[in-house]
């Protein structure tokens, strides 16, 4: 059985993951509006990943005998100055999420909740990947500068990221 304190903290993280999904979907929309469909697809896939993370936490709370009480999701920012600004914001956001996951782990250790501690190991590893992925794009965008062929080529590369599940086709 999970403690009420840990249940509530995990549900706060569900909310944070759902917000992350909203944020990345907003970033996808802004990138689409900037004519960067590859970057947009990359962010849409990232939004799916965050939704998956939230559901993984949600299911864990239920599995441990807790109650999944959902909270309102805050609306994200909707416009950024450039692709670089978007990915810098994504990188900063992933660093924030890493701190949240680390706090959950600290709580699990404090409560001697070994099941939750073990479960959170996956998220800790995932955050290393999430930060590295966002930072890699930031570094590439800094390298190529403000547009031209480099941005076009990187947009094409970003569009090759496979989605977690198929997206509906517009007009279908």
Domains and their CATH numbers in the chain: 4-158 (1.20.1260.10)
Which pTM does this prediction carry? 0.92
Contact 86, 30 (CB under 8 A): yes
For the range 89-92, what are the long-range contacts, defined as Cβ-Cβ under 8 Å and sequence gap of 24 or more?
A: 89/27, 90/23, 90/24, 90/27, 90/43, 90/46, 90/134, 90/137, 91/131, 91/134, 91/135, 91/138
Nearest by Cα to 32 from 44, 20, 46: 44
Q: How confident is the model at residue 171 (pLDDT cuts 50, 70, 90)?
A: low
Task: Read off the pLDDT of residues 86-122 as tens digits, 9 standing for 90 and up.
Answer: 999 999 999 999 999 999 999 999 999 999 999 999 9
């Amino acid at each position: 059985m999970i403690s009420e304190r840990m249940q509530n903290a995990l549900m706060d993280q569900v909310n944070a993951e759902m917000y992350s999904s909203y944020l990345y979907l907003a970033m996808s929309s802004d990138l689409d509006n900037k004519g960067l469909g590859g970057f947009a697809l990359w962010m849409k896939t990232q939004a799916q990943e965050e939704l998956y993370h939230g559901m993984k936490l949600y299911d864990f709370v239920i599995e441990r005998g807790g109650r999944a009480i959902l909270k309102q999701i805050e609306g994200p920012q909707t416009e950024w100055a450039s692709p670089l600004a978007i990915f810098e914001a994504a990188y900063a956001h992933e660093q924030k999420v890493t701190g949240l996951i680390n706090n959950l782990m600290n709580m699990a250790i404090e409560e001697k909740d070994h099941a939750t501690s073990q479960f959170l190991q996956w998220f800790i590893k995932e955050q290393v990947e999430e930060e590295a992925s966002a930072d890699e794009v930031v570094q590439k965008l800094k390298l190529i500068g403000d547009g031209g062929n480099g941005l076009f080529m990187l947009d094409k590369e970003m569009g090759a990221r496979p989605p977690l599940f198929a997206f509906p086709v517009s007009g279908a």
